[in-house]
Amino acid sequence: ILLLITFQRFSMGFRSGDLAGHDRVLIWWSSIHTLIDLAVWHGSFLHLTRRTIRIWLKRDSGQYWPSIYHTMPASCSCMSFNPETRRLSVGMENGTISEFILSEDYNQMTPERTYEAHQGKVTVVLFVLEMEWVLSTGQDKNLTWHCSESGTQLGLYRTIAWVSGLQFDVETRHVFVGDHSGQVTILKLEQDSCSLVTTFKGHTGNVTALCWDPAQRVLFSGSSDHSIIMWDIGGRKGTAIELQGHNDKVQGLCYAPHTRQLISCSSDGGIVIWNMDVTRQETPEWLDSDSCQKCEQPFFWNFKQMWDSKKIGLRQHHCRKCGQAVCGKCSAKRSTIPLMGFEFEVRVCDSCHESITDEDRAPTATFHDSKHSIVYMHYEPTTGWLLTSGADKVIKVRQTRPDVTDVKRLV
């Protein structure tokens, strides 16, 4: 069964070869094949406009036909769907969350309850089946969690900025919160309280995507600063690995656990598949110095050395491999450093450039062009399907190879 959920401003029909008419899409792909001919691609398309929820079922002819049309009291802003319980939680711009239960044939949608969760637009909603919790964040900068059985609010935590990413670890009850200030906060949730565990600060832009791998216990965060950071939570050493492979804002992160590969996408249409089964190195901290640490020429703010040596101060740069402060003359060369996350050529000092071998330059990521500006991405490891939703109001579905090193467009 294929279930697509989209958020759009205007109702639009389908075009041949794609699914069109959306601003943001969230997708769930299931491998349930009961009473379904496996030779035919069946599914349902659940479609949220500004004020309506619509479910489109795929018929034997291959065409989609409307099954459910439900009008909401306010504009939709986010959603969460649980395939096991067929529970659909829809966050709205008025701060409430409406919950529905879909029938097995997706021809009926029954209202379950409504949560008065926030004072402003709901930005993220997440249903945790194991805990029977509904986690949500809003523009009021509050993180709340409700009991899905009783509908009562269990707790509230005030964040410093709007939350744009939310992940939950069932085993430890840790919630990972990424916000517009660029930091990632880890909280320990209890039934009616929470405690701050730690805060990660590594991005210079707002956090735009989070992805949690419970097996390896690593957290991936993407940002508008074009970077991705892998935080080693399980190692408890504070290790942070940077991945630099995008030229625009990172819009989505998905992890393929069977191959240990990270899939990322950005607004420029790029899809990058990272091999995380290699030993990567942390990027060094940039050192501070008043003069070049290679040739000892003064930098332009070092007036004393400039006067004593009768030389004009130079601009400071940093080697991406060793982190030393160097001048432009001592760092004129460029090189990729894939094991440090630099898939594009970056500035390195002369000595580091000589130490980098061809083997060190072997890429650890593959790059693909989606041919549209991506706003959302989803990967289903059981089928190998990769979905991207673009600003051009087109949804593209691609089939990846078993090792997730290549993608082929299906629709």
pLDDT at 33: 29
Instruction: Please tell me the number of Cα atoms within 13 Å of 100 on its side-chain side.
Output: 23
Instruction: Please provide residue 202's backbone torsions phi and psi, each rounded to the nearest 5 degrees.
Output: -145, -20
Distance CA 367, CA 289 (A): 37
More confident residue, 35 or 9: 9
**What domains can be seen in the chain, in order of their start residue?**
281-363 (3.30.40.10)
Residues 6+ apart with CB under 8 A from 133: 127, 145, 146, 147, 148, 154, 189
Which DSSP state fits 18?
B
Distance CA 182, CA 164 (A): 10
Per 3-state DSSP, the chain is made up of helix, strand and coil in percentages (nearest 5) of 5, 50, 45
For residue 320, give both structure tokens. Answer: 């991406």
Q: Which tens digit of pLDDT belongs to each residue from 112-144?
A: 999 999 999 999 999 999 999 999 999 999 999
Q: Which tens digit of pLDDT belongs to each residue from 235-250?
A: 777 789 999 999 999 9
pLDDT at 34 over 60: no
Instruction: Please tell me the number of Cα atoms within 13 Å of 49 on its side-chain side.
Output: 15
Instruction: Please tell me the number of Cα atoms within 13 Å of 113 on its side-chain side.
Output: 12
Distance CA 205, CA 225 (A): 5
pLDDT at 10: 35
- Local structure of 157: helix, strand or coil: strand
Residues 6+ apart with CB under 8 A from 251: 208, 209, 222, 265, 266, 267, 374, 375, 376, 377
**Residue appearing with tokens 């709901």:** 122
Reported confidence tier of residue 66, pLDDT bands at 50, 70, 90: confident
Q: Which tens digit of pLDDT belongs to each residue from 281-325?
A: 888 889 999 999 899 888 988 888 888 888 888 899 999 999 999
Look over the chain and give the mean of its residue pLDDT values, rounded to a whole number: 82
Angle at 226 between CA 168 and CA 357, to 5 degrees: 105
Instruction: Please provide residue 338's backbone torsions phi and psi, each rounded to the nearest 5 degrees.
Output: -55, -40
Neighbours of 343 (CB within 10 A): 20
Rg (CA), the chain: 24
Q: Are 381 and 369 in contact (CB under 8 A)?
A: no
pLDDT at 90 over 50: yes
